[in-house]
A = this chain, B = another copy of it.
């Protein structure tokens, strides 16, 4: 099945990228845009039909590699 993992900075962690992007958007005339935050998106195929099993594996991958849990949260979607 296909999985989609979104990784976002924890609340309160400085996001220099988001800050710069917000500045650029304002400069381009999108003046009202606010709270721009940048995160990561990881898509992958995992060959199991069992939803729960997949979810566990994916959680494992996030904890072990994909997310830096000191500063990032992750969210797993399966479809």
Contact = CB atoms under 8 A, between A and B. Distances in A.
Interface residues of A, number: 33
Interface string A1-44: 00000111000000000100110110010101111111111111
Nearest to A22: B44
**Copies of this chain, count:** 2
Contacts of A21: 42, 65-66
> Looking at chain A's contact residues, is the secondary structure mostly helix, strand, loop, or mixed?
mixed
A61 B8 contact: no
Contacts of A36: 42-44
Interface of A: 6-8, 18, 21-22, 24-25, 28, 30, 32-48, 57, 60-61, 64-66
